[in-house]
């Protein structure tokens, strides 16, 4: 079980965690496939599927929802690494073609520095053939290179979590399953209108509305390795896209069909704050928070004033942010066992927590902001943190409690494995349904939830399965401000198609 550390004080496990009977995946009775639109009823406390004819006759059709299928035909079949290598070779060939015959050694090194950066210029200077027999230039460059490598090794010993910041590290801390090979990398609904943004493996963001004939496309040379997105509340078309080098902040014209010009996007950068792995707007859209696995600081952006504030802390980099619905608290997890909850209205004072093993894999706030649910990378358990407004951030002597509320251990249902280590959790805006995906099993677990003042109850409902060997890459719920009165779960399957799951009268 988890052991939590509150305000840097050690608490015994029996004081910090209360144990009680948890719900289990064993209590779920049905698996539903998208081939038959699901509609469920409760009978004697257990959930069961309606007959097929009753399903078709009662299910409300979502005719105005866009059909989205980002299939493999839209992408190059080569791997990302192969594509990067090919691009590098192409750039090298192009650069060599344009090199003047009589270009001096120093001039070539300087040109390489401005074209490709310090690292490439240093490699250029280390090459004895490029240096033209100038031993001093190559020796100084080699000494500089070895010094930098030594400092990197020392840094990796002191801060092992800073050792890797490449694409594999991004995938490890992403809420998207198999992020590297996933056709769909992120899905986000606009909080105030019927608009959905889908980021693909091709680093293109496609915008869909209830007018399927118009699909704006957001593409920029700076927009690589898209990891996360967030619509700005109370604006029609402002989208923050977290990527390898920073944040692309797009402002779209409602009449445009395709947007490719970088003049439509503002690129937000901060020293050492890359790659971006999480972006979140507060509830009124005045502040944008970002986290990076290369930076221990959480950056708070005031976009309108083009200013930023760093929430500085010494320790491991941040990987995930979740702003509470009323913007009073900001949850931030790191690449290690540390996570914090910041009091936004109390001069950004943080509560510091630690877990025994692994990292926080995914988290979500309740609509009232009184509960935080999270899962870790090492345990098949769903945990709950409870926050009371009158007690939050007080220096009391009793610790807050992290309660295990659901056992997600892998089981077999109808000859199919379900459950296991969780990948992502999503809570619907009404607080009635909770969806959980898993790292190595193909089904989505659905729970029903009920919030009454300071009490949260959770009950198992059913599993959702895709077609054939599909598994969910990404899930999210549609916002409350929508045409459809049902709660709708949006599922990005591994095949590249997106499905809408209306819960109806469940």
Burial of 386 (0-12, 13-18, 19+ CB in 10 A): middle
Least confident window among 126-140, 193-207, 312-326, 489-503:
126-140
Burial class (CB in 10 A: 0-12, 13-18, 19+), 109: buried
Q: Find the range with the poorest average confidence among 7-16, 86-95, 325-334, 384-393.
A: 7-16
- Over residues 374-392, the mean pLDDT reads 81
CA count, 13 A, side-chain hemisphere, 388 = 10
pLDDT band for 46, please (50, 70, 90 cuts).
very low
Which DSSP string do the residues of 128-176 spell out, in sequence order? TTTTTT-HHHHHHHHHHHHHHHHHHHHHHHH-GGGS--SHHHHHHT-SS
Q: Is the pLDDT of residue 449 over 60?
A: yes
- How does 344-371 read in b/e, with b if 16+ C-beta sit within 10 Å? beeeeebbbbbbeeebbbbbbbbbbbbb
Q: State mean pLDDT over 362-380.
A: 94
CA distance 358 to 335: 9
CA distances from 154 to 41, 148, 158, 287, 436 (A): 60, 10, 6, 36, 40
Average pLDDT estimate for 362-377: 94
CA distances, 207 to each of 94, 109, 204 (Å) = 34, 43, 10
pLDDT higher than 70, residue 2: no
Measured distance CA(243)–CA(277) in Å, rounded: 7
CA distance 213 to 209: 9
Angle at 57 between CA 39 and CA 469, to 5 degrees: 50
Q: Which residue in 305, 356, 311 sits closest to 331, CA to CA?
A: 311
Give the number of residues written for the chain: 506
Domains 165-354 and 358-390+400-505 share a fold: yes
Of 230-239, 369-378, 481-490, the one with minimum mean pLDDT is: 481-490
Q: What local confidence, expressed as pLDDT, does residue 413 receive? A: 83
Query: Which residue from 283, 310, 312, 457 is spatially nearest to 373, judged by alpha carbons?
Result: 457
Mean pLDDT, residues 80-89 = 42
Ordered by start, the domain boundaries in the chain are 105-158, 165-354, 358-390+400-505
Give mean pLDDT, residues 492-497: 95
What pLDDT is recorded for position 159? 60
What is the mean predicted confidence (pLDDT) over 13-28?
Answer: 56
Out of 126-130, 225-229, 349-353, 450-454, give the one with best mean pLDDT: 225-229
| pLDDT value of position 12 | 32
* Range from 23-37, 115-129, 130-144, 425-439 carrying the lowest mean pLDDT: 23-37
The CATH code belonging to domain 165-354 is: 2.130.10.10
Q: Which helix (H) or strand (E) holds 310?
A: strand 307-311
Residue 210: which pLDDT band, with cuts at 50, 70 and 90?
confident
Tell me if the bond preceding 138 is cis, omega within 30° of 0: no
Check residue 392 and give its pLDDT: 47
Q: Evaluate whether 463 touches 444 at the Cβ level (below 8 Å).
A: yes
Q: What is the per-residue pLDDT for 142?
A: 85
Task: Fill in the DSSP letter of residue 119.
Answer: H
Strands (E), 159-259: 184-189, 196-200, 205-208, 217-218, 228-231, 238-242, 247-251
- In this prediction, residues 479-495 reach a mean pLDDT of 82
| CA atoms within a 13 Å half-sphere pointing along the CA-CB vector of 69 | 5
pLDDT band, very low/low/confident/very high, at 408 (cuts 50, 70, 90): very high
What is the rounded CA–CA span in Å between residue 19 and residue 404?
7
Among 68-72, 125-129, 348-352, name the one with the lowest average pLDDT.
125-129
What is the CATH code for 358-390+400-505? 2.130.10.10
CA distance 29 to 26: 8
pLDDT at 73 over 70: no
What is residue 481's predicted lDDT score, i.e. its pLDDT?
A: 65
In tens, the pLDDT along 226-272 reads 999 999 999 988 999 999 999 999 998 766 555 554 447 899 999 88
When comparing pLDDT for 313 and 453, which is higher? Answer: 313
Of the CA atoms within 13 Å of residue 496, those in its CB half-sphere come to 12
pLDDT at residue 43 in the model: 30
> Taking residues 316-322, what's their average pLDDT?
94
Asked if residue 453 lies in contact with residue 399, where contact means CB atoms within 8 angstroms, the answer is no
Contact between residue 223 and residue 241 where contact means Cβ atoms under 8 Å apart:
yes
Mean pLDDT of 396-422: 81
b (16+ CB within 10 A) / e for 53-70: eebeeebeeeeebbebeb
Mention every residue, 6+ apart, whose C-beta is less than 8 A from residue 173: 277, 293, 319, 320, 335, 359
Closest by Cα among 67, 113, 36 to 212: 67
Contact 243, 222 (CB under 8 A): yes
pLDDT above 90 (res 102): no
Whole-number pLDDT of residue 261: 47
Mean pLDDT value across the chain: 79
């Amino acid at each position: 079980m988890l052991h939590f550390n509150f305000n840097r004080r050690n608490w015994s496990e029996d004081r910090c965690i209360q144990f009680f009977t948890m719900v289990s995946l064993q209590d779920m009775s049905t698996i539903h496939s998208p081939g038959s639109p699901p509609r469920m009823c409760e009978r004697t406390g257990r959930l069961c599927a309606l007959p097929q004819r009753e399903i078709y006759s009662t299910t409300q059709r979502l005719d105005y929802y866009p059909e989205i299928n980002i299939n493999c035909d839209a992408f190059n079949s080569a791997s990302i690494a192969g594509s990067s290598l090919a691009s590098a070779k192409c750039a090298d060939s192009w650069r060599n073609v344009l090199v003047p015959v009589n270009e001096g050694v120093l001039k070539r090194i300087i040109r390489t520095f401005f074209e490709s950066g310090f690292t490439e210029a240093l490699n250029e200077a280390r090459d004895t053939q490029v240096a033209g027999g100038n031993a001093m230039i190559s020796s100084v460059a080699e000494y500089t290179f070895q010094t930098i490598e030594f400092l990197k090794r020392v840094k990796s010993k002191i801060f092992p979590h800073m050792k890797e910041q490449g694409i594999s590290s991004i995938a490890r801390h992403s809420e998207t399953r198999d992020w590297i090979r996933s056709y769909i990398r992120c899905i986000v609904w606009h909080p105030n209108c019927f608009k959905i943004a889908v980021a693909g493996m091709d680093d293109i963001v496609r915008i869909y509305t209830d007018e399927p004939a118009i699909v704006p496309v957001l593409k920029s040379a700076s927009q690589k390795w898209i990891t996360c997105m967030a619509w700005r509340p109370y604006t029609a078309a402002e989208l923050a896209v977290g990527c390898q080098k920073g944040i692309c902040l797009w402002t779209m014209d409602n009449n445009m069909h395709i947007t490719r010009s970088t003049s439509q996007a503002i690129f937000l950068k901060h020293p050492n704050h890359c790659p971006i792995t999480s972006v979140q707007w507060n509830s009124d859209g005045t502040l944008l928070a970002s986290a990076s696995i290369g930076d221990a600081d959480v950056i708070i952006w005031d976009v309108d004033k083009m200013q930023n504030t760093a929430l500085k802390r010494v320790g491991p980099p941040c990987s995930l942010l979740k702003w509470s619905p009323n913007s009073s608290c900001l949850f931030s997890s790191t690449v290690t066992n540390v996570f914090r909850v910041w009091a936004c209205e109390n001069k950004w004072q943080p509560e510091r927590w630690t877990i025994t093993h692994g990292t926080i894999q995914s988290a979500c706030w309740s609509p009232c902001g009184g509960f935080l649910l999270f899962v870790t990378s090492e345990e098949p358990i769903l945990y709950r943190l409870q926050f009371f407004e009158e007690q939050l951030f007080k220096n009391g002597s009793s610790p807050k409690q992290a309660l295990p509320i659901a056992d997600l251990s892998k089981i077999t249902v109808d000859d199919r494995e379900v459950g296991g280590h969780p990948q992502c959790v999503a809570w619907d805006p009404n607080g009635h349904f909770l969806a959980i995906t898993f790292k190595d099993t193909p089904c989505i677990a659905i729970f029903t939830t009920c919030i009454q003042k300071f009490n949260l109850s959770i009950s198992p409902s059913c599993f959702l399965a895709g077609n054939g060997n599909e598994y969910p890459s990404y899930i999210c719920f549609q916002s409350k401000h929508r045409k459809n009165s049902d709660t709708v779960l949006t599922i990005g399957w591994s095949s590249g198609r997106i499905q809408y799951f209306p819960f109806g009268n469940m």
